[in-house]
Amino acid sequence: MKIKKIYSVFILSICVLIFASCSKTQSYSDLLKSEQKASNWFLAQHTVCNEIPADSIFIEGSDAPFYRMDDDGYVYIQVIKANKKEDRVFPKTGDQVYFLFTRYNIDQMYRSNSIDIAPESSNQDNLMNLIGHTYFIFNNLSVNASYQYGSGIQIPVSYLGYDSEVNILLKSYYGFSSENTTCIPYLVNVRYFKPEY
């Protein structure tokens, strides 16, 4: 009888642990919904244009709108600075594009209800910091130098060329490859540079 009681308590304890752990985990679908909610909250703080300007002449500045750059809404850019359209120099497929970046976690902004948070990662002080050589090979995601930063980081330079600066809202699907399944959106400030050779 005593063994039966101990066994029942043990089984009951296991069931409580299982149900408790299940209630704390989220499905991938739930994570995507959370990412969308945080992204929408961030975009609601700004003006949003759902189309890319046909002439590629974007409004610039810290109060410029965020432009939706893909049909699914994974990438939005705010153009901080760009050369005049006639002066823009664009990378060709296979060219190295160096960039400085600072990333901010939009999910943290959403949870704290503030857009003023500390950056999560940055190489603004040094292109050769612990993150590594910060460049990608334009239009070539088959090499690690490009793949690790995701496809979204390359989109603005194809419209604005070198010597431009943007803020990019990057959802995880187009973001850094190590975080594709985290479902955390980031605001990434990026400046693009041509190699000096």
The 10 Å CB-count burial string (b at 16+, else e) for 15-25 is eeeeeeeeeee
The model's pTM is 0.82
* Closest of 112, 109, 119, 121 to residue 42, by C-alpha: 109
Q: Residue 197 has which token pair? A: 């050779």
CA dihedral of 127, 129, 133, 135, whole degrees rounded to 10: -50
Q: Give the model confidence (pLDDT) of 170-185 as tens digits.
A: 999 999 998 888 999 9
Residue 18 is inside which H or E element, if any? helix 2-24
| CA dihedral over 181, 104, 194, 72, signed as positive or negative | positive
CATH architecture designation of domain 28-193:
Roll (3.10)
Q: Which two tokens stand for residue 101?
A: 């970046």
Cβ pair 164, 179 in contact under 8 A: no
- Residue 28 to residue 49: CA distance in whole angstroms: 29
Q: Read off the pLDDT of each residue in 119-129 and give the average, rounded to a whole number.
A: 67
Do residues 99 and 83 lie in contact, with contact meaning Cβ atoms separated by under 8 Å?
no
Summarize the confidence of residues 25-47 as an average pLDDT: 94
Mean pLDDT of the region 60-69: 97
Domain extents in the chain: 28-193
Work out the average pLDDT over 74-88. 96
